[in-house]
């Protein structure tokens, strides 16, 4: 399949000006570094895929090494995409440790199962030599790939549930204060769009592998990478300091500094810049008075872990 690599490279050209403006020209943060790694890893990888797609392999060993390269490349991209998604959710929860542990434990449980299913499915793979170097999975081995896609779908579902939870909590907390957080709405919207599209693709892969029909590994790899890069670029376009930016400040009632996520944004985009306790402030004096009354009626704000 040459359409997915071509579409990914074309999308890179379309967004190159935004990348230069909002990432290259900005201070390099951890989010930008992860973006660069995934962006140019998949770009170079897809260029090599296109080159070897029209190259006749001279021997069986060359074809075997090329298929091994494709497997490693696909696995690396498949690991980096969940890491970037986890970073987004970790930022949305203001770098809370229990979210980090939840994501790490989930990845630690699903990754060995996914690796096992990939290894088992690759045993007994038949290479097809000729005009195009390709591989053929026996029917009994193809069903193991359904386990791999099931693990990926399970992690994406966890990401979706965490995004829905923080969205509900944010609306419930700040609704009475009339505080608007466009940045949070942006991340929730992009996350829902990503999950809707990628869930359909993963479910299709599970059905195809379970019925021993076919697989859309190349299409899924390129689509997930393209969508995640779009999510990161869209966020960088609206945030000047990247996704993860920790700041140290002191709470009025605590002497120990705490590190929390800070979204430094354009004032025209977001109504205000929050402290470690929130991401935005009331937009007018009426909202400010309401928030003060609400806080005074509820007592002091409990500290977040």
pLDDT at 29: 79
pLDDT at 171: 73
287 phi, psi to nearest 5 deg: -65, -35
Structure tokens at 81: 């995409």
pLDDT at 177: 61
213 phi, psi to nearest 5 deg: -90, -60
Query: Which stretches in the chain have pLDDT values below 50?
Result: 131, 241-292, 294-305
Task: Return d(Cα 178, Cα 283) in angstroms, integer.
Answer: 8
Asked whether the beta carbons of 276 and 258 are under 8 A apart, the reply is yes
pLDDT at 127: 58
Task: Return d(Cα 89, Cα 82) in angstroms, integer.
Answer: 11
Residue 255: C-alpha distances to residues 226, 246, 274, 299 (Å): 44, 18, 20, 20
Question: What percent of the chain clears pLDDT 70, i.e. is strictly above it?
Answer: 65
The pairing of beta strand 126-128 with beta strand 258-261: unpaired
């Amino acid at each position: 399949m040459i359409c997915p690599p071509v579409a990914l490279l074309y999308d890179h050209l379309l967004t190159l000006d935004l990348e230069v403006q909002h990432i290259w020209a900005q201070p390099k943060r951890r989010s930008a570094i992860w973006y660069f790694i995934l962006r140019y890893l998949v770009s170079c990888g897809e260029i090599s895929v296109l080159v070897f797609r029209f190259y006749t392999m001279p021997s069986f060993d060359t074809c075997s090494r090329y298929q091994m390269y494709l497997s490693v490349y696909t696995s690396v991209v498949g690991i980096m995409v969940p890491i970037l998604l986890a970073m987004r959710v970790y930022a949305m929860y203001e770098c809370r440790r229990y979210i980090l542990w939840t994501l790490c434990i989930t990845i630690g449980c699903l990754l060995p199962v996914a690796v096992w299913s990939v290894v088992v499915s690759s045993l007994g793979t038949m290479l097809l030599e000729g005009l195009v170097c390709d591989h053929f999975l026996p029917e009994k081995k193809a069903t193991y790939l359904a386990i791999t896609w099931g693990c990926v779908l399970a992690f994406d579902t966890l990401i979706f549930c965490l995004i829905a939870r923080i969205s509900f909590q944010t609306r419930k907390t700040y609704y009475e204060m009339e505080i608007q957080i466009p940045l949070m709405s942006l991340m929730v919207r992009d996350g829902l769009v990503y999950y809707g599209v990628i869930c359909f693709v993963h479910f299709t892969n599970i059905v195809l592998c379970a019925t021993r029909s076919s697989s859309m590994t190349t299409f899924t790899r390129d689509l997930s990478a393209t969508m995640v890069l779009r999510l990161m670029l869209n966020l960088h376009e609206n945030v000047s300091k990247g996704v993860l930016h920790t700041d140290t400040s002191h709470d009025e009632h605590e002497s120990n500094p705490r590190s929390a996520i800070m979204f430094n944004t354009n004032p025209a985009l977001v109504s205000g810049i929050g402290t470690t306790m929130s991401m935005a402030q009331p937009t007018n004096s009426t909202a400010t008075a309401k928030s003060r009354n609400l806080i005074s009626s509820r007592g002091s704000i409990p500290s977040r872990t």
